[in-house]
Amino acid sequence: MTTLIAFAESLQHTALGLALREASPAAVLGIQIAHVLGLILLLTSLLIVNLRLLGWGLVSLPLAQVVHATRWALRIGLVFAIGSGALLFFSAPVHYIANAAFVPKMSLLLFALVVQASLYRKVTHTERSTPLLARGTAVLSLTLWFSVGLAGRAIGFV
């Protein structure tokens, strides 16, 4: 933890860290709003695909069509959520590292991204997954990403 805080302190003195610390409150607020809207776009895109995998939503459409139709939203959501999140982190690295919910959130995010790049990618690129694999992946994906959101909300409370 001490090395993490020392690392965060060094980030605080980078050009980006300094610029964000001196940014106007309105700019930081804009980044916060982008973070929430990006998160919702990301979660909803994943929700639509995972509901289809579970057989609970848009069942009249082929999986590939649902995956294709939500891909752009998933990407925009990821870029906005992670991009704005990185900026928020750089605006106060020590504050976030020291927050009890932040490291759990980042661990969950890492886990969610690994599942996204492996299992989720595999299952959404074929119609031939076994129902168990498709459903298991959907439950894991939804649980992980919604937990990332919940842990993020907890940052404001702990």
Partner 1 sequence: MSPIELARQISDSEIGTALRESLVLFPLIEGIHLLGLALSFGLIFFTDLRLIGVFLPRVPVSNVLNGLRYWIFTGFALTFLSGFLLFWAEAETMIENPAFLVKCVAIVVALINAVAFELAWGKRGAAWVDQATAPGAARLAGWVSLTFWTAATVGGRLIPYYA
DSSP 13: T
Member of 11, 36, 94, 103 binding partner 1 (CB under 8 A): 36
Q: Is 51 in the site for partner 1 (CB under 8 A)?
A: yes
Q: Is 56 in the site for partner 1 (CB under 8 A)?
A: yes
d(CA 52, CA 114): 21
Contact track, partner 1, 76-115, x by CB under 8 A: ----------------------------------------
Q: Is 157 in the site for partner 1 (CB under 8 A)?
A: yes
Q: Is 63 in the site for partner 1 (CB under 8 A)?
A: no
| Residue span binding partner 1 (CB under 8 A) among the ranges 3-11, 15-23, 115-123, 142-150 | 142-150
Residue 29 or 117 having the CB closest to partner 1 = 29
Length of the chain: 158
| Residue span binding partner 1 (CB under 8 A) among the ranges 6-14, 32-40, 85-93, 119-127 | 32-40
Whole-angstrom CA distances from 67 to 32, 63, 126, 152, 158 are 28, 6, 11, 26, 37
Residue 116's Cβ-side half-sphere holds a number of Cα atoms within 13 Å equal to 19
Residue 4 or 83 having the CB closest to partner 1 = 83
- Residues 6+ positions from 44 with CB-CB distance below 8 Å: 73, 77
- Measured from the CB of residue 115, what is the shortest distance to partner 1 in angstroms? 18
d(CA 153, CA 86): 16
